[in-house]
């Protein structure tokens, strides 16, 4: 059953204050210095080879027509799709526009669907992101907010870090401190393994600037909870 509403009072965080199941590092995705020494095709070839070995160890018959192409499919999916947000070449570069209409109220992009992967078990995290800002003189195309959410979700993640990364990127792009982000997500590492709880959801938030004002925060939360 879906929860009726999201009611959070979470201050901005660097993803350090996490539970023992979510070991924190920083707001940056942990990456090696040589992360991009290999091009995409070389990565696909190596992942295909190693995933074939994993399937063989599991006892699967890779001569079967249904399974033979799976290692290649998984490798391409990892590099080109579900983990494409690891590559800085894929980072969105939104164009900003002058706020000629002098709109000075909150703008909210609600119910942005995202799919990510838990970095602890490499199974899906999926849900909705809600992003809001006050213009500091510039506005952004609405679809570009979605692209920012997708970029940071397409990498191994913990939800706390994902929330912070979206919030900080919105601040950087829009040149404003007045950013609110709320994420409501399902974790397959909770639902499909371990405790096997298919009903629980996880909520995280990032509030900065004007969104630390309780009235503005309440306005934002009331709107994203409305039908």
CATH of the domain at 114: 3.30.1130.10
Whether residue 145 sits in one domain with residue 58: no
Residue 127 contacts residue 185 (beta carbons within 8 Å): yes
Inform me whether the pLDDT recorded for 169 exceeds 90. Answer: yes
Mean predicted lDDT score pLDDT of the chain: 89
Catalytic residue numbers, as ranges: 118-121, 159, 187, 189
Q: Are residues 103 and 186 in the same domain?
A: yes
Write down the residue that tokens 């399974």 correspond to: 67
pLDDT beyond 60 at 103:
yes
Instruction: Classify each residue of 105-142 as buried b or exposed e, where b means 16 or more C-beta atoms within 10 Å of its C-beta.
Output: ebebbeebebebbbbeeeebbebbbbbbbbbeeebbee
pLDDT of 21: 53
Q: Pairing relation of β-strands 202-207 and 179-187?
A: antiparallel
Task: Show Cβ contacts of residue 157 under 8 Å, excluding neighbours closer than 6 positions.
Answer: 29, 116, 117, 118, 119, 125
Indicate if the pLDDT at residue 8 is higher than 70: no
Task: Please indicate, yes or no, whether residues 77 and 186 belong to a single structural domain of this protein.
Answer: no
The reply to whether 106 and 218 lie within a common domain is yes
Q: Which residue has the higher pLDDT, 99 or 192?
A: 99
Spatial distance between the Cα atoms of 202 and 161, rounded to a whole number of angstroms: 13
Tell whether 130 is in a known binding site: no
User: pLDDT by residue (tens digit) across 123-158?
Assistant: 999 999 999 999 999 999 999 999 999 999 999 999
Which residue in this structure is represented by tokens 């405790």? 195
Are 184 and 76 within one domain?
no
Residue span of the structural domain in which 56 resides: 40-82
Count of structural domains within the chain: 2
44 lies in some domain: yes
Instruction: Decide if 62 is inside a domain.
Output: yes
Q: What is the mean pLDDT of residues 184-209?
A: 84
121 annotated ligand binder: yes
Q: What is the pLDDT of residues 15-51, one digit of tens each?
A: 334 444 545 557 899 999 999 999 999 999 999 999 9
pLDDT of residue 3: 40
Q: Is the pLDDT of residue 196 over 80?
A: no
Domain boundary among 49, 82, 115: 82
Query: Which structure tokens are listed for 116?
Result: 């990510």
**How much is the pLDDT for 188?**
86
Residue 7 has pLDDT above 90, yes or no: no
> What pLDDT sits at residue 102?
93
**Pairwise CA distance, residues 43 & 39, whole Å:** 6
> Using one digit for the tens of pLDDT, what is the confidence trace for 68-102?
999 999 999 999 999 999 999 999 999 999 999 99
Q: Does a structural domain hold residue 13? A: no
Does residue 30 belong to any structural domain of this protein?
no
Say if residue 167 is in the same domain as residue 198: yes
Residues 142, 195: one domain? yes
Say if residue 106 is in the same domain as residue 207. Answer: yes
CB 169 within 8 A of CB 131: no
Identify the domain boundary among 56, 82, 108: 82
User: Which CATH number goes with the domain that contains 73?
Assistant: 1.10.286.10
Same domain for 142 and 220, yes or no, is: yes
Calculate the alpha carbon distances from 86 to 75, 79, 225 in Å. Answer: 15, 9, 31
Answer whether 180's CB lies under 8 Å from 171's CB. Answer: no
Residue predicted with more confidence, 45 or 195:
45
């Amino acid at each position: 059953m879906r929860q009726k509403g999201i009611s959070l009072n979470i201050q901005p965080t660097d993803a350090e204050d996490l539970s023992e199941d979510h070991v924190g590092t920083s707001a940056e995705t942990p990456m090696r210095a040589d992360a991009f020494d290999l091009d995409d095709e070389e990565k696909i070839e190596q992942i295909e080879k190693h995933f074939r070995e994993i399937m063989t160890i599991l006892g699967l018959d890779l001569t079967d027509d249904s399974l033979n192409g799976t290692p290649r499919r998984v490798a391409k999916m990892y590099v080109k799709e579900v983990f494409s947000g690891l590559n800085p070449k894929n980072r969105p570069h939104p164009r900003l526009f002058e706020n000629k209409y002098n709109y000075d109220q909150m703008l909210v992009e609600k119910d942005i669907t995202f799919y990510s992967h838990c970095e602890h078990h490499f199974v899906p995290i999926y849900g909705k992101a809600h992003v809001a800002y006050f213009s500091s003189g510039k506005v952004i195309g609405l679809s570009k907010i979605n692209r920012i959410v997708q970029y940071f979700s397409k990498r191994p993640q913990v939800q706390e870090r994902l929330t912070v990364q979206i919030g900080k990127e919105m601040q950087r792009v829009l040149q404003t401190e007045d950013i609110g982000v709320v994420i409501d997500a399902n974790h397959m590492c909770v639902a499909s393994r371990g405790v096997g709880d298919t009903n629980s959801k996880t909520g995280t938030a990032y509030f900065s600037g004007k969104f630390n004002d309780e009235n503005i925060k309440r306005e934002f939360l009331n709107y994203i909870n409305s039908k």
